[in-house]
A and B are shown apart, each in its own frame.
Chain A
Amino acid sequence: MANEVQILTVSELTKEIRRTLEESFEQVSVIGEISNFKSHISGHWYFSLKDSDAVISCTMWKGFNQYVFFTPQDGMKIIVNGKLTVYPPRGSYQLDIRSMKPAGLGELQEAFEKLKKKLEAEGLFDEKFKKPIPSYPQKIGVVTAIDGAAFKDLISVAERRFPLVEIVIAPARVQGSGAAESIVNGIRLLNQYPGINVIIVARGGGSIEDLWAFNEEIVARAVFKSKIPIISGVGHEVDFTIADYVADLRAPTPSVAMEIATPDISDIENFIVEFLSSSSANIEEMVESKKEDVAAFYSSYGFRIPLDILSRKSQQVDLSLNKIIQSIEKFSMIYDKRISLLAKSLDAFDIQRVLKRGFVLVRQNSKFVTRAVDFNTEEKAMLKFYDGEISTH
């Protein structure tokens, strides 16, 4: 075999190289820094991994990269797992990657800071772009996992505080691969849905990897682009995501996001009850003061003049009457009688008033019995009520 020179075609040689390489490096883990990262429209990823002395081309097909929870960025240090393969048309070898993870949490932190700086410089966090949150929303859009704890919390807060509202949920993946795209899609759908007043983008607590979708640039840009105000409620109070910075308002948790988005029904009820009591008091006060005005008018000098005239006239009448009385003094007895009669009838009238209040006059043998000791139980009694008289036996 050593003496015989075997002549191979390029294809044959390449095939041989390919077999050798693929067999020897069927499963390798490599650490390196990403450069020239490109996500092709087909969904495949192309980039290079490098260190200070070497570079290797990498591919990661859509079928695999959809399981990567973060979007790789140039400069990020990652650990990949895959096999070596050869691309015959270019005569090049490349790493065919099956899985990928950041080399450490520091890598994510760095990516976070980098994106934050970039978007901040672009003005995406500027106060002037923050849209006001409406006080009485009719429809609240929610982007979150429909089967997640965050959604349950959101619903129970809405139910308690403002059940008048309609919750429109755009179910989204909130962690892992495809989460960012799913969240972006939710925001887009809610922007097209009629009548949404505010959108809550939410997720319960989790690790930095779990929350990573909310640190993706596409999510930040979708939040910024939304015409409807967005409240973010991601993770716990200590978790800050890029989405939080871009959102019109950042709530520390999903529940608080819903509390911010809804008025409290009991506040409204209190307002109404307060309105009813204070305004009826106002009206009463107004009526009282009008009454006083009328009374003041009656006693005013101008209003008294006709009365004064009247009293002067009546004085004249009295004087004339006196003269007449004097002139008919002989009939004074008759007048006395009349006066006493008048007095009597007045008395009677008073008794009637007393009776009307429920008192009863008791008579026995044509005499009024005014004390219990005077009452004879053996005798017939006449009871005089306001409305009539009855006799007892």
Chain B
Amino acid sequence: MTKKKTKSNFEQDLSRLEEISQMLEEDNVELEDAISLFEEGVKLSKSCLKTLKEAELKITELKKELGKISQVEED
């Protein structure tokens, strides 16, 4: 379950990073905002790179009936 959460966080982090990247490229951003955005971006970058580095492909095999699937998932 925790692994699942990390994954969805990764996508969120990445889209936030894209957002920050765009905001920093805009001219009207205040310096203080820019610095805090940058700090946030660095943090996100680190965690994203870490997630990527540690990622391992997970393979789940479905059984014929759905009842068995949930068992597989719980294992």
Contacts and interface: CB of A to CB of B under 8 A. Distances in A.
Interface of A: 136, 138, 146, 155, 158-159, 162-171, 185-186, 189-190, 192-193, 195, 265, 268-269, 271-272, 275-276, 278-280, 282-283, 286-287, 290
Contact of A287 (B21, B31, B51): B31
Given A275-B21, A276-B42, A283-B38, A167 B10 contact: no
Contacts of A190: 62
B74 interface: no
A158 B45 contact: no
Given A169-B60, A268-B14, A164 B31 contact: no
Contact of B59 (A166, A170, A275, A278): A166
Given A265-B52, A280-B38, A171 B21 contact: no
B8 to A, nearest CB: 6
Contacts, number: 99
Contacts of B55: 162-164, 265
A156 to B, nearest CB: 9
A278 B18 CA distance: 12
Contacts of A272: 17, 45, 48-49
A193 B69 CA distance: 8
B20 A279 contact: yes
Given A138-B4, A164-B52, A275-B45, 13 more contacts: A138-B7, A155-B57, A163-B57, A164-B7, A165-B57, A169-B60, A189-B62, A193-B66, A193-B69, A268-B52, A272-B45, A276-B41, A282-B38
A163 B64 CA distance: 26
Interface of B: 4, 7-8, 10-11, 14, 17-18, 20-21, 24-25, 31, 34-35, 38, 41-42, 45, 48-49, 51-52, 55-62, 64, 66, 69
A298 to B, nearest CB: 18
Contact of A136 (B11, B56, B60, B66): B11
Interface residues of B: mostly helix, strand, loop or mixed? helix
A282 B38 CA distance: 10
Given A163-B55, A265-B52, A268-B14, A286 B8 contact: no
Nearest to A182: B64
A284 to B, nearest CB: 10
Contacts of A186: 62
Contacts of A279: 20-21, 24, 38, 41
Contacts of B62: 168-171, 186, 189-190, 193
Nearest to B59: A167
B48 A166 contact: no
A167 B58 contact: yes
Contact of A168 (B41, B60, B64): B60
A280 B64 CA distance: 53
B59 A169 contact: yes
Contacts of B7: 138, 164-166
Contacts of A164: 7, 10, 51-52, 55
B14 A166 contact: no
B49 A269 contact: yes
Given A138-B8, A163-B57, A189-B69, A286 B64 contact: no
Nearest to B25: A282
Contacts of B20: 275, 279
A185 B62 CA distance: 11
B58 to A, nearest CB: 4
A280 B35 CA distance: 9
Which 7 pairs show the lowest CB-CB distances between chains A and B?
A163-B55, A166-B58, A164-B55, A170-B62, A163-B57, A136-B11, A272-B45
Contacts of A170: 62
Contact of B64 (A162, A165, A185, A283): A185
A164 B5 CA distance: 12
A353 B9 CA distance: 56
Contact of B45 (A136, A167, A276): A276
A283 B35 contact: yes
Given A136-B14, A279-B41, A158 B48 contact: no
